Every structure is written in structure tokens, then in C-alpha cells.
Amino acid sequence: MKKLVLLFFIFVGTTLFAQPQNYIVVDRNGTGNFRNIQQAIDSVRAFNPAGTVTIFIKKGIYKEKLEIPTHICNVKLIGEDRDNTIINYDDHANINKIGTFKTFTLKICGTDIRLENLTVQNSAAPLGQAVALHVEGDRAVFVNCRFLGNQDTIYTGKQNARQYFVDCYIEGTTDFIFGPSTAWFEGCTIFCKRDSYITAASTPENIKYGYIFNNCKVVLGDKVKEMYLGRPWRAYAMTLYMNCELPDGIKAVGWDHWKNEENKKTARYMEYRNTGKGADTAGRTWTKVLTKKEAAEYTVENVMKGYDGWNPAKEFSTKK
């Protein structure tokens, strides 16, 4: 009998010890493996040979400035409840003159990182650029997340990196989705808090795809009356809205050239089959309205495939 009891405790102890290797629980109340998310991230082995690690984050407000470095890959951060599992920090660019790119609440540099059911917030006052999500990692996926901020909420920060956003809520004021990466936004809600610009892509000339918004809904705050779909942070910015709902209040011209007429010759701004009062393309004097044949090129499979044939939409298409 004693031998059986001893074996039982050895089995239970081994199970509990092994669990954090692939499934980690974070809880501010102390019931999980860690109280802080960064501690959980730091516990993952570099280029973990054990496969995918899931970090389950219980409801709570986590005031942390998080970084997932390049050697931490193949990790899922899953919140218990999207609206009540909140990662929050409050840096902005004019605090000690740190500049835009150090203001992030969450910075992702590792490959194959997935966020689900989480809120990532930069709660700084609107006194300068304040990034909530800074993502440089390739094959990053964001599902049912909220990204809250003002100016520069999401920075897609590396060319040739690919990011896929599904059913997310993104809010901000100026250029609140910006950067050089290739990013697909599927079924997302884009909430504009102030008269300004939604996107500021900086797609390099040699990169074919920048930002694609498909089946998204743009919503304007009560006091917002004049919104641009985007402006080119760099000359060859590429952005496409297709099958999106665009409200009254989107400027008739649609896009801004960032005080440089030359940008009209190089920026790759496109629209296709959008709806709503803001979708009228009669005033779009220098952007392209795609034909059905031209629009057929813009699929997740084509845009995201890169060098490895990545198609993140496969998972979601099988669920419908």
C-alpha cells in the first residue's frame, strides 16, 4: 500500500512539474505558475524543442511592458476573457524623449507567436506617439484581440514579416496602423477617435503587399467628421480596402499624399467593392479602384505565402 501511495505522489509530482513546459498559467492572484506575463515568457526555452507553448492568462490587469525576443518562438498567449484580460502600459514618445519605437506595451520579435482573447493597451495621455503593439516577428497571428491607444497604436515593424489579424478591434487617432510589414486584417473593427489618418504604411518598393483590409468595418467616433483611409509614411506605401464598410465621414478623396505630390506617383492605394457612404470612389482622384479580375489576386494564400507557403486562413476556413 505504501508503495502505491509513493508511486501516486511521484506521478502527480511529475505531472505538475512537467505541465509548465508546454502549458503555463499566469494569474495576478497567485494561483498560476506565475503572477507576471513576462516571467512566463522568460521561462520558455530558446527555440523550444518541445513544440508549442501555451501561456494561459487569467482575467486581470497586467501593468507590464512586455517583450518577446527573437529566440522565443512558437508561443500562444491566450487570455481568459478578451475584455477583462488586459496588458497595459503608458509610455509615450515625449517621456524623457524616448521616441516612438520604445513606447510599446507589447513588443513581439519571435516567430510564430499567437495572441488570442487579449486586450493590449497603451493608456498614455495623447501627448505623443504611444505604441500598444510593436510586432516584428514573422507569421504572427492575432485572434479576437483589442488594441487600444491613440497615435500609433499598432506598429508592424519589419519588412518581409507577415501578420494576420482576425476579428480584432483596433482603435486610435493618427496613423494608428503603421509600418513596413505585410499584414492582413480580416473581419476587424477599426475605430477612429479623431479626425486624422487610419494607416501610414511604409511598404518598401520591392515588397509587393502591404496592408490588406478585408471584410472590415470602419467606425468613426461621435466627433469625427473627416477621416482619411491612409497616408504614405514612405513613398511606396501599399494599402487595400476591399469588401469593407466605410462610413460617412471618410474624405471624398480617400487618401492623403503627406504634403508631397510625388507620393501620388508611387503610393499603391487601392479599393474594391466596399460599402457605405464613405465607399463612394467618385472623388478618388489618384488611387486605384480594382476590377474583379484584379481583385482576385488579393487572397490570404497569395499575400501571406512568402517563401514557405504560409496560409493562416486555412484554420479559420475549416471552422465555418
Q: What is the pLDDT of residues 225-267, one digit of tens each?
A: 999 999 999 999 999 999 999 999 999 999 999 999 999 999 9
Confidence of residue 18 (pLDDT cuts 50, 70, 90): very low
Number of domains in the chain: 1
- The answer to whether position 2 is within a domain reads no
As a whole number of angstroms, the distance between CA 137 and CA 104 comes to: 15
Which CATH number is 268's domain given? 2.160.20.10
Q: Does residue 254 form part of some domain?
A: yes
pLDDT given at position 5: 43
- Give percent above pLDDT 70 in the chain: 92
Indicate whether 162 belongs to any domain: yes
* HEC sequence for 263-290: HHHHCEEEEECCECHHHCCCCCCCCEEC
91 counts as catalytic = no
Q: Report the Cα 54 to chain-centroid distance in Å.
A: 19
Can you tell me the mean pLDDT for 208-224?
Answer: 98
Q: What is the pLDDT of residues 100-130, one digit of tens each?
A: 999 999 999 999 999 999 999 999 999 999 9
Contact 146, 172 (CB under 8 A): no
Strand order in the sheet with 119-122: 60-63, 85-89, 119-122, 146-148, 169-172, 189-192, 217-220
The cell for 215 is: 471584410
How confident is the model at residue 2, as a pLDDT? Answer: 52
Residue for grid cell 479580375? 293
In-domain check, residue 29: no
Give the closest residue to 40 by CA, choosing from 28, 50, 51, 49: 28
What does the mean pLDDT of the chain come to?
Answer: 94
Rg (the chain; Cα; Å): 21
Residue 171 lies in a domain: yes
Residue range 57-86: mean pLDDT, rounded: 98
Cell numbers linked to 37 = 506575463
| pLDDT attached to residue 1 | 54
Enumerate the β-bridge partners of residue 272.
Answer: 242
> Active site includes 175?
yes
Report d(CA 71, CA 190) in Å as an integer. Answer: 32
pLDDT band at 194 (very low <50, low <70, confident <90, very high): very high
Q: Is residue 216 part of a domain?
A: yes
Q: Is residue 211 part of a domain?
A: yes
Rounded mean pLDDT, 3-12: 45
Residue range 43-47: mean pLDDT, rounded: 96
Q: Label residues 202-229 b or e (16+ Cβ within 10 Å = b).
A: bbeeeeebbbbbbebbbebeeebeebbb
Is residue 45 assigned to a domain?
A: no
With a cut of 50, say whether residue 9 has pLDDT above it. Answer: no
Structural domain range at position 110 = 58-317
Closest CA to 181 of 136, 141, 115, 140: 136
Query: Looking at residue 53, what is its pLDDT?
Result: 98
pLDDT level of residue 199 (50, 70, 90 thresholds) = very high
Residues in the chain: 320
pLDDT digits (tens, 9 = 90+) for 127-158: 999 999 999 999 999 999 999 999 999 999 99
Q: How confident is the model at residue 303 (pLDDT cuts 50, 70, 90)?
A: very high
- Residue 59 DSSP class: S
pLDDT over 90 at 320, yes or no: no
Confidence of residue 50 (pLDDT cuts 50, 70, 90): confident
Selecting among 91, 138, 175, 256, the annotated active-site residue is 175
Contact 181, 213 (CB under 8 A): no
CA dihedral 223, 225, 230, 235 (to 10 degrees): -110
Q: Which of 91, 138, 152, 256 is catalytic?
A: 152
Lowest mean pLDDT among 13-27, 36-50, 90-104, 274-288: 13-27
Residue 317 has pLDDT above 90, yes or no: no
The pLDDT of residue 315 is above 90 = no
Tell whether the torsion through CA atoms of 280, 284, 288 and 291 is positive or negative. Answer: positive
Q: Which of the pair, 111 or 13, is modelled with greater confidence?
A: 111
User: What does the alpha-carbon distance between residue 107 and residue 87 come to, in Å, rounded to a whole number?
Assistant: 12
